[in-house]
Amino acid sequence: MWLVSVRDLQFRARRFVIAVIVTSLVFGIALAIDGMRRSVQSETPAIVALFGADRWVVAQGATGPFTTTRVLGATAADAVRRQPGVKRADPVVLSRTVIANPAKDANLVGHVLGGLGSPPISEGRSAQKSGEAVLSSGVSIDVGARILVGGKAFRVVGKTPNGRYYFGVPTVFVSLRDAQEIVFKGQPLVMGIAVKGTTRALAGTTTVTNSQVVSDLNRPLAGGVQSIVVMAVLMWLIAAGIIGLIVYLSAIERMRDFAVFKATGAPSRVIVGGLMLQAVIVSLVAAVVGVGVSKLVGLGLPFPSELGAAGILQLFAISVVVGVLASLAGVRRALTTDPAVAFGG
């Protein structure tokens, strides 16, 4: 029966090739979409880890430095630094902004130059004075170029591979003073204080851990991530429907074959296994092709699609499940075939 199923794939090769091509497109899109989810979920802990802080001090009532609208005076950092157990405490400004000409949304990170929040450099150098900026990936502007950020002119002195967050939005890293001029018109205000070491809350403030900051930053992303998951699941279901239709049509055309097998005493598990084998083979081949398709789809996405070993292994595991589920309709059709059909009844 197994050999017969493989021969049937060869006999109806054109139909199954079409099924593989169409299913691989669905698998590739689903894998790229799932890669977007992985990318979004990995961005948040990465941007928080970039600061190298152990704890954060924010205004009382704020849930985290990235989402708060409650601000602190920058001088609060001096009081934090005087606490025992504090190795370093640097105020930060975290906001949204626009890079002009052409307009592009961006995150703005204002930090103490050389302090906590200074990004690793992959090209050029770190910012060393006011008017200099470092850009994350996602912005096609060369080192040495002049840009307008929030209406203020900067010279790009470096690039970093890190720093994108809020669904892949690129980030501009500038000095704390420059960020205060953009966001607070020069007032000495900050969203929070990144602390290296241990600290306690001052009057009118509260402290949060890195995990709490990550959870707070993930909160506004939850709806978007859920939408991505739903889209991926729908793609898997579409793939199962395509393969299921092909296998069902094959089962209808092979009714006399199944009748002969049943009339000659072939156990049902052999018939079931043969149809499942067909569906799983088609699904696995489509998954292999789908990996290449996902890389092509990823080139057209607005932010990176993370395609790693875990995602590929997940695709192959899901493809097996999809193949088994897709074969059920054909299996039911085969098991209900009357053995009398083998004799023309």
pLDDT, tens digit (0-9, with 9 covering 90-100), for 86-105: 999 999 999 999 998 788 99
Which amino acid is it at 47? I
Q: Which 3 state secondary structure label does DSSP give 261? A: helix
The pLDDT-based confidence of 10 (bands split at 50, 70, 90) is low
Q: Which 3 state secondary structure label does DSSP give 336? A: coil
Q: Report whether pLDDT(4) > 60.
A: no
* The pLDDT value given to residue 338: 63
Q: Which 3 state secondary structure label does DSSP give 152? A: strand
Q: What is the mean pLDDT of the chain?
A: 86
* The pLDDT value given to residue 183: 95
* The pLDDT value given to residue 54: 95
Lowest pLDDT segment from 31-45, 70-84, 147-161, 250-264: 250-264
The pLDDT-based confidence of 3 (bands split at 50, 70, 90) is low
Distances (CA, A) of 266 to 3, 27, 263, 269, 324: 14, 35, 7, 8, 21
The pLDDT-based confidence of 165 (bands split at 50, 70, 90) is very high
The pLDDT-based confidence of 309 (bands split at 50, 70, 90) is confident
* The pLDDT value given to residue 280: 84
* The pLDDT value given to residue 17: 83
Cis geometry, peptide bond prior to residue 102 (ω within 30 degrees of 0)? yes
Mean pLDDT of the region 272-297? 84
The pLDDT-based confidence of 276 (bands split at 50, 70, 90) is confident
The pLDDT-based confidence of 59 (bands split at 50, 70, 90) is very high
* The pLDDT value given to residue 50: 95
Lowest pLDDT segment from 79-83, 159-163, 204-208, 310-314: 310-314
Q: Report whether pLDDT(182) > 80.
A: yes
Mean pLDDT of the region 257-262? 65
Question: Which stretches of 180-309 are assigned E, i.e. beta strand?
Answer: 189-190, 192-197, 205-209
Buried b (16+ CB within 10 A) or exposed e, 116-155: bbbbebeebebbeeeebbbbbbbbebeeeeebebbebebe
Q: 292 or 344: which carries more pLDDT confidence?
A: 292
Q: 128 or 268: which carries more pLDDT confidence?
A: 128
* The pLDDT value given to residue 297: 87
Q: Report whether pLDDT(136) > 90.
A: yes
pLDDT digits (tens, 9 = 90+) for 19-43: 888 889 988 888 888 888 888 889 9
Q: Strands 55-59 and 72-73, how do they pair?
A: unpaired
Mean pLDDT of the region 239-246? 81
